[in-house]
C-alpha cells in the first residue's frame, strides 16, 4: 500500500487513531472556549451600553424514559444472540452454538428490566 511495509502500516494505525482522537478533543475544547469568550464580550458590551444582559435560553429537551433504551438494547442483543446460536450451530454443531445463549440471556434480561422499569414509572 503506497510503498509502505505492512508492519509499518499496522504500527501507524493505532498512532493515527490516538492522535486523531486527541485532535478532536482539542478542537472541541477550543471551540467551547471561543463560544464562552464571545458570550462574555456580549455581556460586557451590554453592561457598557446600559441595556439588559441577554439571558441564555436553552431548548427544552424531552427526556425519553429509560425503559425505551432497555427495550431497544434488549431486542438488539437478543437477536444477536439468537443469530449466533443459529449460525454457530449450523457451522460447528449444537454443542458449540450453545455459547450464543449468553448474549441471548443478556438481551432477555434487558427486556425484562424494561418491563419492570415501565411498571415502576407508570405506577408512580
- Kindly report, residue by residue over 29-40, the tens digit of the pLDDT: 999 999 999 989
18-22, 29-33, 65-69, 88-92: which range is least confident on average? 65-69
> Do residues 74 and 59 lie in contact, with contact meaning Cβ atoms separated by under 8 Å?
no
Read off the C-alpha cell for 71.
427495550
Any residues with CB less than 8 A from the CB of 12 and at least 6 apart, and which? 4
**pTM exceeds 0.85, yes or no:** no
| pLDDT tens for each residue of 108-122 | 999 999 998 888 877
The full set of domain ranges for the chain reads 1-58, 66-116
* pLDDT at site 60: 80
* pLDDT at site 2: 67
Mean pLDDT, all residues of the chain = 89
Amino acid at each position: 500500500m503506497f510503498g509502505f511495509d505492512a508492519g509499518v502500516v499496522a504500527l501507524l494505525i493505532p498512532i493515527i487513531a490516538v492522535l486523531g482522537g486527541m485532535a478532536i478533543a482539542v478542537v472541541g475544547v477550543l471551540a467551547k472556549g471561543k463560544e464562552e469568550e464571545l458570550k462574555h464580550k456580549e455581556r460586557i458590551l451590554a453592561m457598557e451600553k446600559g441595556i439588559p444582559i441577554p439571558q441564555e435560553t436553552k431548548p427544552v429537551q424531552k427526556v425519553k424514559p429509560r425503559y425505551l433504551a432497555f427495550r431497544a438494547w434488549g431486542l438488539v442483543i437478543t437477536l444477536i444472540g439468537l443469530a449466533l446460536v443459529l449460525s454457530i450451530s449450523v457451522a460447528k454443531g449444537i454443542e458449540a452454538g450453545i455459547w450464543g445463549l449468553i448474549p441471548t440471556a443478556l438481551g432477555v434480561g434487558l427486556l425484562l428490566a424494561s418491563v419492570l422499569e415501565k411498571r415502576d414509572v407508570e405506577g408512580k
